[in-house]
Structures are given as C-alpha cells and as structure tokens.
Amino acid sequence: MPELAVSLSPTSCQTYRRHRTRGWGACVWIGSGLITVASERPTDTPTGADLPAGDVAAFEAVIGVHFDDPALLHAALTHPSFANEHPEDPAPTNERLEFLGDAILGAIVAEELYARFPQVQEGRLTEWRSALVCGPTLSRVAVDVLDLGPWLRLGRGEEQTGGREREGNLERAYEAIVGAVYLDRGLATAGEFVRRTLGDEFEALARDPGVLNPKGTLQQIAQEHLGRPEYRLVGQSGPEHDREFTVEVYLQGEALGRGQAGTKQEAEKNAARQALPKVRARLRELGDAPAGIEQPGAGEHGTAGGTAVPGSGS
C-alpha cells in the first residue's frame, strides 16, 4: 500500500476540499480528530476474482454504483466465516474495507450534518453523527434500503445461526461497501452513495430530532395519557460473542413496537422507534398530539427544521 500523508494542521479541511472531487484523498475522523489522508489509489486491492457477471451487474443495480473492479464488491460482501471455510476463494474478507469505510462514512456524515444544520452546535452534531453511523442505523439501512442480507457471503455455521439478519454483519457489510465505492470510484461517488442510502435518516432527523433518542421521546409524549412504556426482552439468538436481542415495548398492555440489535439497549431503542408513529397516531385520535417535542435547555444546542431538540439520553 502506498505511504499515507497524514496532516493534523489547520489546513486539513482545505486539503479535504481539494481532494473531494478527484484523486484518492479523504478527510476522516479518527477518535475525535479530523485528519487528512491523501494517497494514490491503493494497489493491494483484489483483482481478477472469478465473479459471475450477472451477479455483479445485479448488485451494482441494487447499490446504484458501477465498479471498474468488481472484485472489490466481492470482498465487501465476504464475511470472515466464508473465508475460513473457503481458503481457495480469491476474495479477502470485508474487514479491511470495513475499517476504511467506517472512516470515510464518518467524514461524509459529518459534512452533511454541518451543511444541513448550520445553527446546531458541535456537541449536538457529534451526538447526531454517532447515532447515524451506529450499528442499529446502518443495519436498518442495509435491510430497508439495500436488502443486503441475501447478498452476504457467509460460512455454513454463520448461515445456520441467522447471520443474514444479524445486525453486526449487516452494519459491517454496509461500511465495507462504502470503502469499496471509495476505492473504486473516489470520494465524491462514495458521498453520493452515503447521502442516497442514508437520505431517509437525514430527512427524519430534519423533521424530528427525537428519532435519534426514541426511548426518551416515546416516554415524553406517551406518559401523560398512555402511561410509562414497558420494555420486555422476548428473544435472543446468535453465538455468545455476537448475540442479537429482541425487545418489545408495551403501552397499556399492548405491544406497539419490536426491535432487534446487538445489545438490549439498542434493541429497546429500535422498539421505541417503531412504536413512535403508532403512539403519535393514537394521541392525534385523542386530540392531544404534540406539535413538537420541546425540552428545557434545547435552545443552547440549536434547533433543526423548526423543531426543538429533545435530550439525548437513552
């Protein structure tokens, strides 16, 4: 791999702008810092893999990106379990592409939030970025927007234990695809891919910032008339190192939402997120639907889309 030039200087963002539309540079987040990574196109990416042309074309249609090197797509979809069972296969696992895609994704989401919400302060933007690139969000996009599950290349054991629906596998595959798009088509195309596939998430955030804190929002709007939400763990699956939890949220004894995730807390958030539209509809029927969710002190963080920002607790 060519040597990377890494700069932490104040000119980093200018360098990012210069590389954004051409070349193979990026401005990426490592921890809490924004760094510039400028390099030539990597030369250690897989080439020459035996890929069925029909499958490649079909998957390119799914993600909306044409690849010069389709072997990158092959790698992005290859789970380590598949590589372990098929050492003869030329494609590497998607772990390195996931590493790269995670950094590229963070930079793209940060820039999009910065542009969309000019009045929102850094602390709130950081919270939103974390929520947009977290496992539950990316796995939801992987399923709802791209339907990635059927495309994953899994080992037999992973397949038999529900690997195609596992949040971690879907999240990592999405990030690996971002990395593959970046390597093959450059940062501008990677940005287009992320903005398109995360478009509904950005729009939902603009309409109601509470979607990023669904548990707090659900409790706030429901407790006065419908009571306090109750979360019940109804299932768990997967190996010990990669568990998936299923949680249902109840109001007045009725299950209104169901969520799955790699942790109980995230599963509860997903259940609350699913329940929110039903609760709002019920409150409208009662003639008591809140126009916006206001929270004391929200003004210090700014607002988005004219809606006050609720707190970010879980």
Rg (CA), the chain: 21
Please check whether residue 148 is in contact with residue 230, taking contact to mean a CB–CB distance below 8 angstroms: no
For residue 102, indicate whether it is catalytic.
yes
Please check whether residue 250 is in contact with residue 232, taking contact to mean a CB–CB distance below 8 angstroms: yes
**Which is the catalytic residue, given 98, 102, 167, 201?**
102
23: left (phi over 0), alpha (psi -120 to 50) or beta: left
Question: CA-to-CA distance for 314 and 312, rounded, in angstroms?
Answer: 7
SS3 119: coil
How far, in Å, are 55, 75, 157, 173, 241 from residue 83 at the CA level? Answer: 19, 10, 12, 15, 19
3-state SS record for 92-108: CCCHHHHHHHHHHHHHH
Write the single-letter amino acid at 95: E
Question: CA-to-CA distance for 300 and 15, rounded, in angstroms?
Answer: 31
On the CB side of 271, CA atoms within 13 Å amount to 29
If one counts every other C-beta atom within 10 angstroms of the C-beta of residue 280, the result is: 17
If one counts every other C-beta atom within 10 angstroms of the C-beta of residue 175, the result is: 26
**Which is the catalytic residue, given 158, 175, 248, 268?**
175
Angle, alpha carbons 121-123-127 (nearest 5°): 115
Question: CA-to-CA distance for 215 and 312, rounded, in angstroms?
Answer: 10
Q: Tell me the two tokens of residue 148.
A: 């990635």
Helices (H) and strands (E) in the chain, counts: 13, 6
Which residues are tagged catalytic? 102, 175
